[in-house]
Amino acid sequence: MFLLPHMVASVQIPVVAAGGIADGRGLAAALALGAQGVQMGTRFVCSSECIAHPRYKQKILEADDRATVVSRQAMGQPLRSLKSKLTDQFLALEKAGLSKEELELFDTGRMYLGLIEADIEEGWLLAGQIAGMIKDIKPVRVIIEETVAEAEAIIANLKNFYREN
């Protein structure tokens, strides 16, 4: 909410908002703040076309608003993912002061383990904070159509709100 208007004002190219967007409310908000489009990563993981493992998708569907954590900051590659045995271990290793090289070695192969093999304890399960809002798996086309329709309705209601007040 804070960074988007500043980014839009500071560049001469279209800005695509990312992070915390999973429905028409997020799209409408991003457009109101000056974005020309949005990226919905976690929402599209839970699309029927996404090749991510069904157990990984199910973990997103089960998530609540406090289900994610940021790790890998000591590596200079922050990563938000669902809390798991791996995230607890990784955060402890970072806190213990392991070198970037040691952390990278520990991290090797864990993206594939989580996203494709759905090893929910030893692999990364990437997900934004928005995961708690996602409760179903739908085709991409339906996700886009519903998102745009909801944003259009919100924008129309805002026009009415202004006229009434």
Residue type, 123: G
- Dist CA 50 CA 137 (whole Å): 10
| pLDDT single digits (tens) 100-114 | 999 999 999 999 999
pLDDT of residue 161: 75
Can you give the C-alpha Rg of the chain in angstroms? 18
Q: Which residues pair with 68 in a beta bridge?
A: 82
Element (H, E) at 57: helix 54-62
pLDDT of residue 165: 55
| Pair type for strands 68-71 and 79-82 | antiparallel
Q: What's the rounded mean pLDDT across residues 24-52?
A: 97
pLDDT of residue 164: 58
Q: How confident is the model at residue 160 (pLDDT cuts 50, 70, 90)?
A: confident
pLDDT of residue 19: 92
Enter the DSSP assignment of 120: T
Contact 42, 132 (CB under 8 A): no
Centroid of chain to Cα 44? 9
pLDDT of residue 1: 80
Whether this prediction's pTM lies above 0.85 is answered by: yes
Q: What are phi and psi of 47, to 5 degrees?
A: -110, 155
| pLDDT single digits (tens) 56-101 | 999 999 999 999 999 999 999 999 999 999 999 999 999 999 999 9
pLDDT of residue 132: 96
Strands (E) across the chain are located at 16-18, 37-39, 68-71, 79-82
Q: How confident is the model at residue 2 (pLDDT cuts 50, 70, 90)?
A: confident
pLDDT of residue 72: 94
